[in-house]
Structure 1
Amino acid sequence: MNDVYNLLGLAYRAGKVAWGYQAVMAALKRRKVFLLLMAGDSSPRLKRKLLTTCREYAIEGIVYGDKVTMGAALGKPPCAVVGVTDANLARLIRQHVREVGA
């Protein structure tokens, strides 16, 4: 697992993520999400809807990795979307995603 997934796991253990569509949408509506990660193998419709929502709430949405690996990083079943709810962790994850070249 790479640094992005390690940081995602750390954020989950710290209670700083919302995972799964319903939880992420609820956190977005409460304006608690600083970064949204979507699995690359998510449906095009889901990605389109989430990217539109990201623009609406003025947060960055990144398509990265796959559902199985994202879920494994959280210790959960396959997961299509994760919202990072801590600004510093979101910045670190964003930085590592850019280094990897997603």
Structure 2
Amino acid sequence: MNDVYNLLGLAYRAGKVAWGYQAVMTALKRRKVYLLLLAGDSSPRLRGKLLATCREYGSQGIIFGDKVTIGAALGKPPCAVVGVTDANLARLIRQQVREVGA
């Protein structure tokens, strides 16, 4: 699981993530999000809305981790949603998520 957070931190430092609801929604609507990570402890309403938006704009959404750990990986406060805007980093993160079985 640590590799997922390391890759997420790398993506953030490379400027390849949108974090927080507003930034992610904007990036989704511009079709710039290749992978959406939603914290498992985010609200069901938020998850439903964002996953529906992912389907609408052709992005993949995955429920993974928790708000505190995702925020820490970015060096930010607790964060429920992160959009990865780089195709290669999204692929690597998706692969690591599959390996940990989430």
> What is the TM-score with the length of structure 1 in the denominator?
0.98
Identity %: 87
1:59 positional shift: 1.1
| Structure 2 SS opposite 1:37 | strand
- What is the Cα deviation at residue 65 of structure 1? 0.3
Q: Which residue pairs with 2:75 in the alignment?
A: 75
Count of matched residue positions in the alignment of Structure 1 and Structure 2: 102
For 1:6, the equivalent position in structure 2 comes to 6
C-alpha distance in 2, partners of 1:19/1:67?
A: 11
Deviation at 1:30, TM superposition (A): 1.0
* Inter-partner Cα distance in structure 1 for 2:60 and 2:27: 14
Deviating above 6 A after TM superposition, structure 1's stretches of 4 or more consecutive aligned residues are: none
Give the 3-state SS of the residue equivalent to 1:83 in structure 2.
Answer: strand
Question: In 1, are the aligned partners of 2:40 and 2:63 still within 8 Å (CA)?
Answer: yes
Q: Distance in 2 between matches of 1:13 and 1:44?
A: 29
Give, in angstroms, the shift of residue 71 of structure 1: 0.1
Counterparts of residues 56-71 of structure 1 (less than 5 Å): 56-71=56-71
Unmatched tracts of structure 1, length 5 or more: none
Give the Å deviation of 1:78: 0.1
Aligned residue for 1:31, secondary structure, equals coil
| 1:27-84 CA distance string (max 9 Å, x none) | 1111110000000000000001011011101111000000000000000000000000
Match of 1:21 in 2: 21
- CA RMSD in angstroms, aligned pairs only: 0.7
C-alpha separation in 2, matches of 1:27 and 1:50: 12
Q: After the TM superposition, which residues 88-99 of structure 1 pair with which residues of structure 2 at under 5 Å, given as runs? A: 88-99=88-99
Report the TM-score when normalising by structure 2. 0.98
